[in-house]
Amino acid sequence: MNKAVLVTGGAGYIGSHTTVELLEAGHQVVILDNLCNANREVFNRIEQITGNAPIFIQGDIRNSLTLDLVMQLYPIHTVIHFAGLKAVGESGQQPLNYYENNVHGTIVLCQAMQRAGIKRLIFSSSATVYGEEAPVPYIETLPRGKTSNPYGTSKSMVEQVLTDLYKADPEWSIVLLRYFNPIGAHDSGLIGEDPRGIPNNLMPYIAQVAIGRLQQLSIFGSDYPTQDGTCERDYLHVVDLAIGHLKSMQALDSAGIHIYNLGTGQPVSVLSMVKTFEEVTQQPLPYRITDRRAGDLAAFWADASKAENELGWKAERTLKQMIEDTWRWQSNNPNGYER
Q: Would you please indicate which residues are annotated as catalytic (active-site) residues?
A: 151
Q: In terms of CB distance, is 120 or 233 closer to ligand WQD?
A: 233
Of the candidates 211, 203, 194, 226, the one whose C-alpha atom is nearest the C-alpha of residue 297 is 226
Q: Within 95-114, which residues bind ligand NAD (CB under 6 A)? A: 101, 105
Report the alpha-carbon distance of residue 240 to residue 49 in Å, rounded.
17
Per partner kind, with CB cut-offs from 5 to 8 A, the member of ligand NAD, ligand WQD, none near residue 218 is ligand WQD
Q: Which sign, positive or negative, has the C-alpha torsion 107, 58, 260, 195?
A: negative
Q: Within 95-154, which residues bind ligand WQD (CB under 6 A)? A: 126, 128, 152
- Tell me if residue 77 falls in helix, strand or coil: strand
- Tell me if residue 145 falls in helix, strand or coil: coil
* Residue 214-243 contact track with ligand WQD, rule CB under 6 A, x = bound: ---xxxx----------x-x----------
Report the alpha-carbon distance of residue 98 to residue 153 in Å, rounded.
10
Cα–Cα–Cα angle for 315, 317, 208, nearest 5°?
A: 115
Per partner kind, with CB cut-offs from 5 to 8 A, the member of ligand NAD, ligand WQD, none near residue 12 is ligand NAD
Per partner kind, with CB cut-offs from 5 to 8 A, the member of ligand WQD, ligand NAD, none near residue 267 is none
Contact 42, 191 (CB under 8 A): yes
Of the candidates 147, 151, 113, 114, the one whose C-alpha atom is nearest the C-alpha of residue 130 is 147
Compute the residue count for the chain.
339
Per partner kind, with CB cut-offs from 5 to 8 A, the member of ligand NAD, ligand WQD, none near residue 38 is ligand NAD
CB of 284 to ligand NAD, least distance (A): 26
CB of 40 to ligand NAD, least distance (A): 10
CB neighbour list of residue 29: distance below 8 Å, 6 or more residues apart: 4, 5, 7, 10, 19, 22, 23, 54, 55
Asked if 137 touches ligand NAD (CB under 6 A), the answer is no
CB of 112 to ligand NAD, least distance (A): 12
Residue closest to ligand WQD (Cβ)? 231
Of the candidates 8, 125, 5, the one whose C-alpha atom is nearest the C-alpha of residue 62 is 8
Which residues are near ligand WQD by CB under 6 A? Answer: 86, 88, 126, 128, 152, 181, 200-202, 205, 217-220, 231, 233, 270, 293, 296
Which residues are near ligand NAD by CB under 6 A? Answer: 8-9, 11-15, 33-38, 60-62, 82-86, 101, 105, 124, 126, 179, 181-182
